[in-house]
Chain A
């Protein structure tokens, strides 16, 4: 099994719902709390597993805005795991989730430097590295209704831009979406084989228009319409009610 996320950039409006849902669930989750520093002060900051970045593409007036949520990609070849000196960072054999064993982590930060996606965040208060768990504490919890055994970010997304599933199953929703919508990995060139995929904004065909009529003055048109209703008033108005 290879669990991960698909994120649809065609519908992501950058609302931050996923980021806050993640924060909320995980602050009381398996690697919680997600500490906040100076929460009411000069430099409010804290541990987040999921952050939204918004970019503008191209120059005005051809500019586009793309919102890109980024969290751990659960890479197949995760550099963060390779560099971990204590064995705290690991990729689970059974489902491919990359986790940090909080009891083995010494907070050396090597993994955060190794991750090109900025997905790892040190809890400066407890000195332990934290990151997206794919809500491992939700997805297998049989006490939850089946439809809620999903990462908090996926459940909450108001534009259904987030999908969770097994990339090893070619018929899963995530595999199908990647196939049909040309899903792609973020920064494949760095070579870590991210599991999470992004769906590009859709390109729409041009909308058809009504064929343009010959230019006529207003009075000509109104005269024409008056004649039309006079000639065949049975066909208009009430006739076709």
Chain B
């Protein structure tokens, strides 16, 4: 072979590892640098998350760094100009922080709830939540409420583990995989890695999604379901399993509350609650003695034979049901309730087929296929393990049916119950945290539900006594005042959304501007584009941000935004605190937060700066520690007000949540040789930097499955602070928590109850203690003859979660979105490719361009989300297709449900969790008139920021002069033009 030139001068290159932040996946990356320029970003092969691969976003990191929309300095809205006009002037960091601190100090000393602090795409909720707690405001949340809280809550209130990023299918062992409502989603690269593993092993992959793009393209079977009906499909699967006697009797008996006894006492405060003895121990029916026994004792004592099915009278009654025994309590096992409900013909495939949009034969066949895999193709892993009662098991039994579900399930107002319905039939198959099924990622599973209650009480200059977000277990835990009115600005944990575990960020601006429940003073937003694609009803939200009271003052007096880029929200801010990019800062991805763990390893990681800052910006976490210190937060300052920590790094190193537990779990202890728990280690950051920026604690083989009942795992999880105790995590198929709320709705609860009929009725209708399905709320209130199409959206794989820059490479793949329609359906309406169409909802209308496709449910239209941009934002020219042709569906979605007479405005959210119901939207579509072209509505052009450079018209990015590989003249002459070298 002829000698090759030296293409790369490696002596001039350095390689640093860090963690990607192009989306929420948090892959390990290796960055090759030439000076302060990035030569190449690649996946780190050693990293537990991505194992060397990297998606399109991660590969486009250079263009994020090069974005002309990067903020360069702190900005303040020019005095005398209107908010949203984009007139800013530079302000020094010192002045900016003094201005903000003074304002916050007054709020904190008087009425801390007048500060609302909400964060978007961040991965530092442990830090921002800590900060809000120290400030003393309950008005904090991240974006989970408009993201996928239904998945988190659905799982955590039932199995103790959940979809989203808190668990993974067992890619190595599953033989059957069902994917529900997933576009790219959490997590990008691991799902792709996993799908390839599945397919290579010959596992069957079924995708349930109204649209066949992305992952659905490689599914062995695509089920083009009607949006919002997934729960009904899941319950029909449960029906088929029961009808065919396909459920895991042992699993249900041993690990769930199926044998527990539900009290039948209609019209009393006990009705539907679980039977307990005087010590509060949950009871089961012991067939050996025909009497009740404690569930706990029955687990340990082989002489106790719990009944899975049956209806009994207790105490004193012998042998089943005797009518008219006055002093007895009538009880029925949970499993009997479940069987009675789901055996009902209401859930028979032939009775749900039309609504779901899937034929009955297919529904039945899919359920029976899964039953076959679970029970006829059972797998084992020959590792002995011990359950929580101390019994030794010789092996792990696996029911190799795995699921993953995300946004398509969660973004509906029936998403919480739908998520529960999917979990229900997983549990019936015994396919939870066993080999081949859906596996929890540490620190999950957690007890149902984690013992943290949301904070209610606030006092001036005082930290909260518990975190702002937690897990209500009964109406007593709601964050409401003595009259039952909401205490939080977003009304999370009120009767309108009792289990709003992630807050309701999508309601903050609406509520604050209306002063409902009260006005606030300052809104701090971090990386959240609330004046654009992260809000429902975008156009009117922009008006709300400008709305003034009778004195001419803004109803939302002061808005502070931290972002790295010139977003639409920056344009609506009064003070802009510019953040760094992910390649320019230290950061932690903590187990106290949303860790990067894998099913069989507890993991966390850091970011380190790989390139030097070239502008006057500061990492937001550094700014938070700085402001908190200026405000003299007790956790950040000592008795005389001096700073406890020099900076963010020092804070992370030395702050402990509990003795030995801090933000980072690796290399703790004085000498850096203790993991998970240990004293602060002054060299901890260096240890991470020396170890590719991640820490991985691999679980020993005996701790890897059945962790809800695995003694060794449960004891370890307690010892490292994941769980409060080492008792079993009982899967709650029947939720007593929900029943308590339902009793409150019925006026029977022995405690707080709603003060109005609207809330009462919602509790009655939607708080079924057993997984349930109901028509999505918007659909219940609109004219479905007129608005006959479901309208949903998804992010393209190459942009998922990468909202925060208009990337020069990625926008070449897509700079305009279309409204996609099933081809035959579109043609029947006279709509063809690229026609301009009107899309109209109960709330508003948009004009956009149509495209026809085959892989789309005929009653559904959809588009790529967040491609549309406001003209002038993100460093884009006013001619950019993102603003001239791209559009948002958000204008069609109201943050409030269509009103009914006399009823207050109700949030367009799941009535249980407050999850934003983005995908409940229904629309009418029709062709625009001749000559009606261009996108509607149109928005004002956003002005450039001061000192912002012009965006280049040509980009020739390279880090060194290219080394050309020359063809020798001899080769050119002897081999001519013919590739094989043959002479003519």
Contact = CB atoms under 8 A, between A and B. Distances in A.
A208 interface: yes
Nearest to A215: B243
A156 B53 contact: yes
Contact of A75 (B855, B973, B979): B979
Nearest to B239: A218
Determine which residue in A158, A207, A215, A234 has the highest number of CB atoms from chain B within 10 A of its CB, and name it.
A158
B242 interface: yes
Interface stretch (A6-14, A167-175, A182-190): A6-14
Interface in A106-135: 125, 133
Nearest to B69: A40
Interface string B856-883: 1010000000000000000111011100
A216 B242 CA distance: 10
A81 B978 contact: yes
Contact of A39 (B39, B254, B854, B955): B955
A160 interface: yes
Interface in B417-442: none
B193 A158 contact: yes
Contacts of A10: 199, 218
Contact of B967 (A101, A210, A215): A101
B957 A101 contact: no
B214 interface: yes
A40 B951 contact: yes
A201 B214 CA distance: 15
A108 B979 CA distance: 19
A93 B981 contact: yes
B40 A28 contact: yes
A54 B796 CA distance: 13
Contacts of A84: 977
A225 to B, nearest CB: 5
B963 A15 contact: no
B1 interface: yes
Interface stretch (B118-126, B302-310, B751-759, B903-911): B302-310
B482 interface: no
A59 B336 CA distance: 45
Interface string A1-25: 0000000001111111101110111
B964 A102 contact: yes
A218 B220 CA distance: 33
A15 B55 contact: yes
Contacts of B623: none
Interface string A213-229: 10111100110011001
Determine which residue in B336, B979, B981 has the highest number of CB atoms from chain A within 10 A of its CB, and name it.
B979
Nearest to B32: A28
Contacts of B216: 65
A48 to B, nearest CB: 8
Contacts of B853: 56
B45 A13 contact: no
B824 A161 contact: no
A148 B971 CA distance: 30
A202 interface: yes
B966 A103 contact: yes
A88 B813 CA distance: 30
B757 to A, nearest CB: 34
Contact of B977 (A38, A83, A217): A83
B810 interface: yes
B218 A12 contact: yes
Nearest to B959: A28
Interface stretch (B3-11, B630-638, B684-692, B740-748): B3-11
Nearest to A240: B250
A156 B960 contact: no
B980 A241 contact: no
Interface in B34-78: 39-43, 45, 50, 52-60, 62, 68
Contacts of A241: 250, 254, 387, 391, 393
B353 interface: no
B253 interface: yes
B977 A229 contact: no
Contact of B60 (A20, A104, A148): A20
Contacts, number: 354
Determine which residue in B56, B344, B960 has the highest number of CB atoms from chain A within 10 A of its CB, and name it.
B56
A59 to B, nearest CB: 6
Interface stretch (B93-101, B372-380, B930-938): B372-380
Contact of A20 (B68, B246, B798): B798
Contact of A222 (B309, B798, B875, B971): B309
A125 to B, nearest CB: 6
A63 B372 contact: no
A201 B10 CA distance: 40
B70 to A, nearest CB: 12
A41 B965 contact: no
B54 A41 contact: no
Contact of A221 (B242, B376, B812, B876): B242
A66 B304 CA distance: 57
A41 B250 contact: no
B780 interface: no
A13 B217 contact: yes
A191 to B, nearest CB: 13
Instruction: Give the bracket for the number of chain A residues in contact with chain B.
Output: 35 or more
A48 B344 CA distance: 57
A233 B305 contact: yes
B55 A17 contact: yes
A207 B45 CA distance: 35
Contact of B823 (A60, A75, A93, A237): A60
A39 B808 CA distance: 5
B55 to A, nearest CB: 5
A99 B307 CA distance: 74
Interface stretch (B271-279, B363-371, B472-480): B363-371
Contacts of A28: 39-40, 957-960, 962
A33 interface: yes
A125 B220 CA distance: 45
Nearest to B808: A39
Given A36-B955, A40-B952, A210-B375, A225 B308 contact: yes
Interface string A78-105: 1001111001111101110011011110
A36 B196 contact: no
Contact of B59 (A24, A77, A225): A24
A156 B59 contact: yes
A87 B812 CA distance: 32
B244 interface: yes
A227 B964 CA distance: 82
Contacts of B880: 40-42, 44
A35 B242 CA distance: 61
B213 interface: yes
Determine which residue in A16, A32, A218, A241 has the highest number of CB atoms from chain B within 10 A of its CB, and name it.
A16
Given A24-B62, A44-B815, A17 B53 contact: yes
Interface string B784-798: 000000000000011
Contacts of A32: 958, 962
B596 interface: no
Contacts of A133: 965
Interface of A: 10-17, 19-21, 23-25, 27-33, 35-42, 44-46, 48, 54, 56, 58-61, 63-67, 75-78, 81-84, 87-91, 93-95, 98-99, 101-104, 125, 133, 136-137, 140-141, 143, 147-148, 152, 155-161, 201-202, 204, 207-210, 212-213, 215-218, 221-222, 225-226, 229-230, 233-234, 236-238, 240-241
11 contacts: A12-B218, A14-B217, A31-B964, A40-B876, A45-B812, A60-B823, A76-B980, A99-B967, A125-B956, A152-B40, A158-B53
Q: Which 8 A-B pairs have the closest CB atoms?
A: A218-B343, A158-B192, A87-B972, A63-B854, A137-B7, A209-B368, A65-B217, A40-B951
Given A27-B957, A137-B7, 20 more contacts: A11-B218, A13-B192, A21-B59, A33-B958, A42-B881, A46-B809, A60-B822, A81-B979, A90-B975, A99-B965, A101-B964, A141-B7, A155-B53, A156-B55, A158-B192, A212-B244, A218-B242, A225-B339, A238-B305, A241-B387
